[in-house]
Amino acid sequence: MIRTEGLAEATEETFEAEVLEAALPVLVQFTADWCGPCRHLAPVLREIAREEADRIRVVLLDVDRAPGIAVRYGVLATPTLMVFRAGEPVTSLVGARPKRRLLQELAGVLDPA
C-alpha cells in the first residue's frame, strides 16, 4: 500500500474499529499501490488529516488487500473517497482533486470545530 505518514491504515480485520466505530466522521481513501492518482492525492490527505484532526479522521484502505470491503461498498475505481459517519457511508467521491476543492466537497459532513 502507498504509505502516507500520519494516516491510519485499515484492513479487513480493523475496518470496523477504525472506521465504523469511530467517534468522528472518517474519510476512507480506497487506494492501491498501482494507482497513480492515489499517489498524487496522498499529500492532500496528509494535510487534511493534520489540519482537520478535530473534525475528521483520514484512513487508507488498500482494495487489493481488502477486496471484500471494496465490494461491500461498491468501489469500482481508485481513488474512491468515502465518508462514513456513525458507521454509515454518507458521501462518495471518485478521483483525485486539489485540497481546496476536496474541503469544499466535505464541508457538509465535517463536524463543526
Our answer to whether residue 38 is catalytic in this structure is yes
pLDDT at 2: 55
For the stretch 19-36, pLDDT in tens is 999 999 999 999 999 999
Query: Exactly one of 38, 59, 60, 102 is catalytic; which is it?
Result: 38
State the residue for C-alpha cell 459517519. Answer: 85
pLDDT in tens, 41-66: 999 999 999 999 999 999 999 999 99
Q: Let me know if 34 is a catalytic residue.
A: no
Out of 27, 35, 69, 81, pick the active-site residue: 35
Give the global pTM.
0.92
